[in-house]
Amino acid sequence: MNRCKLQSFVLSVILGAVLGASGCAHNRARTAQGQTAGNAVTRSTTTADSVSTPDVDTASLHIMAEVKTIHFDYDSAFLGPEARATLVQNADWLKSHMDARVQAAGHCDERGTVEYNLALGQRRAQAVKDYYKALGVAEGRVATISYGKEKPLCQESSEDCWQKNRRVETLVAFPRGVTSR
């Protein structure tokens, strides 16, 4: 087998494993939350140490002016210094609004397959959740979801547009009868 065919074979095996794993996660999420949002992959399961993410009613989620969106480099879920500084400010707001539940919603630009971008969006959302936890936001208050490339803010095929789409939005929900303060 020549090198090119071998690389294609290895890539298809890896992609198959990723797709199989994401399909299982998608089904677990559907069972755990009772719903999914379009092609989004949600994570709302109980872990071995009994920490669970909130069951967030997606209809009650809002973008709050005080909670900023962060952006990522191409093909990356790395939280750079600017993103970390923004997340510190977001975490401070979240800690002062203890009744708020949040959903870290991962997004990607148009490049790549649907499956790849769903996985990348999930890694981005999980990185934000993990950083919030490190900053003192209770893990059980933060759910994650990936929309991959399904909800772009910009639809031009340019680097400026793609940069806007590579993001995690921290969406906020309050319990019924509670409003933002």
In angstroms, rounded to a whole number, what is the distance separating the alpha carbons of residues 64 and 109?
23
Q: What is the pLDDT of residue 13?
A: 45
Round to whole Å and give the CA distance between 104 and 102.
7
Q: What is the pLDDT of residue 62?
A: 86
What is residue 60's predicted lDDT score, i.e. its pLDDT? 80
Q: What pLDDT, on a 0 to 100 scale, did the predictor assign at position 157?
A: 93
Q: Which residues pair with 42 in a beta bridge?
A: 145
Q: Residue 59's pLDDT is what? A: 64
pTM given for the model:
0.69
- In the CATH hierarchy, which fold is given to the domain comprising 3-173? 60s Ribosomal Protein L30; Chain: A; (3.30.1330)
Contacts of 24 (CB under 8 A, 6+ apart): none
Residue-range domain boundaries for the chain: 3-173
Nearest to 161 by CA among 118, 107, 106, 109: 109
Rounded CA-CA distance 158/179 in Å is 39
Order of strands across the sheet with 142-148? Answer: 41-43, 142-148, 101-107, 167-173, 70-71
148: left (phi over 0), alpha (psi -120 to 50) or beta: left
19 residue type, one letter = L
Tell me how crowded residue 161 is: count the other CB atoms within 10 A of its CB: 15
Give the per-residue pLDDT at 39.
41
DSSP count for the chain of H helices, then E strands: 4, 5
pLDDT (0 to 100) of residue 177 = 59
Q: Which residues, given as ranges, of the chain have pLDDT below 50? A: 1, 4, 6, 9-11, 13-53
